[in-house]
């Protein structure tokens, strides 16, 4: 298994040099403690925990998996102990509100920790990771009593949380869910139904698990307008906050999966379980979106993590593995052959992984900064602006990064040749673990519909214009910079084309609504490559400016420029194919009658 090393230098580059995190945090309300020294210390300590504790358990979790019994689910060897260290280190409380026991740091700081945790051991990281969304939901929509009962315990990590949406007959179409909530005389509700694919739904790592559950009240309207949200704990809390009797919620089974074996994916049965309404009646889906948006950005990290871990593993192997001679002459004349890193195709695979990982880091951190402003911005105007920009970027981050992150993991396995197919090396595990990223928290197709249908066309393109204006300003500022010309010119052209393509799709959709669904995935992928082009151009600009000023890290900054050049020349052209496909028309997909799909 690749031995994970936190990419601290690149994390610092993105945070401090690209995104100016010091100024960013200084402009936020209540972020006084987020000083450069404090952030650096947190990241350094977090890196040690991820490298020394979590990374060694990654392959253990894959091999052992979780064990189900009527008494509960047992996690793999070392998982529970690692979680106790995590709690003792205060990591769960880092970004939570101070009044409930949190440390009050901006959420973007927590996302850096989430990246390191997820890359080191994605299966383990899902246990505490899902709690963040549950905490945010209770914090925003819960009553004072609910906050008093649940928040402190969840923030400390003593209790964990889940999101219970999916049912066997409905995945993303939550409007047809069947779980019911009957009112009780004491103001609570009796929750009945079965939820599937519940990550971390049952485990032995925490004392209690707080389920956030979607269900229908009696007489509720049909569809999504009749869904309510409930807090349903595994153990009912006593009045003093201690754990009381077992609630009528059980794990019926755990799924046998392609990957993420160390995380329990559960079938959860609610048999008249006691729960409490959170938020207004029949507005549960609106409240749940608080949870889902956090989860979607968290899932984007899986694409980053897969690319980073596969890159680290394949880079080390490519430097060590000897095979054939370089076409331009021996590079290792003393040895029997040259290391495979000298071969162009291996370079192609390594550079693709590097471009994906570093581009993904920039996109996730940039989006996370918008989230900081949403929650801590000093004016309503800047909070609204950041919210709309984050809403536009989130489906791109989730879907685009998990798609190309999985591609990067496959390339990492390919660098190893036959060894990559063998379990002991750990590269095929990265591929298997990464595959779920394009599915959960809304598939690529669902994210694409959200982007093109809701975020772009329903706003008459305003959300897109908000981002393309940023790109336009950047291009204008650096139009006379000869060193940046190779990046600015194609970026400028693509920025214009993005708007033109959107207008064409909008016109087509007015005549045929199927055009939106037919074009949406290609539109999302095109958008992802465009956003990456902007970020890679910015990274190249920072690197070139730094080298012009003089630096002792010439190799690091030069690598940034060369990777940007690789991205623009070797990866950005993919967008051309997506542009042509999105304009191909719905007939290419919808004209064939169903009976013609025979075999």
The catalytic site residues sit at: 441
Phi, psi of 577 (to 5 degrees): -65, -40
Q: Which residues on adjacent β-strands are paired with residue 68?
A: 73
What is the number of alpha carbons within 13 Å of residue 384 lying toward its C-beta?
3
What is the number of alpha carbons within 13 Å of residue 593 lying toward its C-beta?
2
Please answer whether residues 335 and 71 qualify as being in contact, where contact means their C-beta atoms are separated by less than 8 angstroms: no
C-alpha 169/C-alpha 178 separation (Å) is 9
C-alpha 547/C-alpha 557 separation (Å) is 7
Q: Which residues on adjacent β-strands are paired with residue 231?
A: 212, 276
Handedness of CA 212, 218, 223, 225 (dihedral sign): negative
C-alpha 163/C-alpha 169 separation (Å) is 17
User: Which residues are within 8 A (CB) of 548 and not within 5 positions of it... i.e. 6 or more apart?
Assistant: none
Phi, psi of 331 (to 5 degrees): -105, -10
| 3-state DSSP assignment of residue 416 | coil
- Among 189, 439, 188, 266, smallest CA distance to 179 is for 189
Find the distance separating the first CA and the last CA of the chain, reported in whole Å: 41
Instruction: Report DSSP state, residue 420.
Output: G
Residue 548: count other Cβ atoms within 10 Å of its Cβ. 10
Tell me how far CA of residue 56 lies from CA of 30, 316, 350, in angstroms: 37, 17, 24
Percent composition of the chain: helix, strand, coil (DSSP 3-state, to 5): 65, 10, 25
- Among 75, 78, 76, 226, smallest CA distance to 160 is for 75
| 3-state DSSP assignment of residue 584 | coil
C-alpha 242/C-alpha 156 separation (Å) is 14
C-alpha 542/C-alpha 13 separation (Å) is 9
C-alpha 343/C-alpha 338 separation (Å) is 9
C-alpha 531/C-alpha 525 separation (Å) is 10
C-alpha 325/C-alpha 344 separation (Å) is 12
| 3-state DSSP assignment of residue 299 | helix
Handedness of CA 151, 153, 158, 162 (dihedral sign): negative
């Amino acid at each position: 298994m690749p031995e994970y090393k936190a990419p601290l230098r690149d994390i610092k580059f993105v945070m401090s040099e690209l995104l100016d995190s010091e100024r960013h945090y200084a402009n936020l309300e209540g972020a006084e403690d987020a000083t450069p020294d404090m952030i650096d210390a947190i990241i350094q300590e977090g890196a040690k925990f991820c490298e020394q504790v979590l990374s060694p358990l990654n392959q253990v979790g894959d091999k052992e998996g979780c064990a189900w019994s009527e008494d509960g689910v047992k996690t793999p060897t070392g998982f529970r102990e690692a979680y106790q260290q995590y709690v003792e280190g205060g990591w769960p409380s880092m970004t939570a509100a101070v009044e409930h026991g949190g440390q009050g740091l901006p959420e973007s700081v927590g996302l850096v920790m989430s990246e390191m945790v997820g890359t080191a051991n994605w299966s383990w990281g899902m246990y505490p990771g899902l709690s963040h969304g549950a905490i945010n939901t209770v914090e925003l929509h819960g009553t004072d009593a609910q906050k008093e009962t649940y928040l402190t315990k969840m923030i400390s990590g003593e209790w964990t949380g889940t999101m219970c949406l999916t049912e066997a007959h409905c995945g993303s179409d939550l409007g047809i869910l069947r779980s019911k909530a009957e009112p009780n005389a004491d103001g609570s509700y009796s929750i009945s139904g079965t939820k599937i694919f519940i990550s971390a739904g049952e485990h032995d790592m925490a004392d209690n698990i707080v389920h956030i559950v979607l269900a229908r009240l009696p007489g509720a309207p049909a569809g999504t307008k009749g869904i309510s949200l409930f807090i349903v704990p595994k153990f009912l809390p006593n009045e003093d906050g201690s754990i009381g009797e077992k609630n009528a919620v059980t794990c019926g089974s755990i799924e046998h999966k392609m990957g993420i074996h160390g995380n329990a994916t559960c079938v959860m049965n609610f048999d008249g379980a006691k729960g409490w309404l959170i938020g207004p009646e029949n507005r549960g889906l609106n409240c749940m979106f608080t949870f889902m948006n956090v989860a979607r950005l968290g899932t984007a990290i899986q694409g980053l993590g897969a690319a980073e871990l596969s890159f680290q593993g394949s880079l080390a192997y490519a430097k060590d593995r000897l095979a054939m001679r370089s076409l331009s002459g021996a590079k290792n004349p003393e040895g029997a052959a040259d290391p495979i890193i000298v071969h162009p195709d291996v370079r192609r695979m390594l550079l693709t992984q590097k471009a994906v990982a570093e581009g993904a880091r920039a996109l996730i951190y940039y989006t996370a900064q918008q989230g900081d402003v949403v929650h801590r911005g000093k004016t309503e105007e800047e909070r609204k602006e950041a919210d709309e920009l984050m809403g536009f970027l989130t489906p791109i981050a989730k879907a685009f990064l998990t798609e190309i992150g999985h591609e990067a993991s496959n390339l990492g396995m390919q660098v190893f040749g036959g060894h990559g197919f063998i379990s002991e090396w750990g590269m095929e595990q990265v591929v298997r673990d990464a595959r779920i990223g394009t599915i959960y928290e809304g598939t690529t197709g669902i994210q694409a519909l959200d982007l093109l249908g809701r975020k772009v066309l329903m706003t008459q393109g305003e959300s897109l214009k908000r981002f393309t204006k940023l790109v336009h300003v950047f291009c204008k500022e650096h139009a006379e910079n000869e060193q940046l010309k190779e990046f600015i010119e194609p970026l400028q052209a693509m920025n214009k084309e993005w708007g033109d393509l959107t207008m064409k799709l909008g016109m087509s959709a007015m005549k045929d609504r199927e055009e939106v669904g037919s074009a949406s995935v290609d539109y999302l992928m095109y958008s992802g490559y465009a956003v990456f082009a902007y970020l890679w151009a910015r990274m190249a600009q920072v690197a070139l400016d730094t080298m012009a000023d003089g630096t002792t890290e010439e190799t690091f900054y030069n690598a940034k420029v060369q990777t940007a050049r690789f991205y623009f020349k070797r990866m950005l052209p993919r967008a051309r194919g997506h542009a042509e496909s999105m304009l191909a028309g719905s007939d290419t997909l919808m004209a064939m009658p169903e009976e013609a799909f025979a075999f």
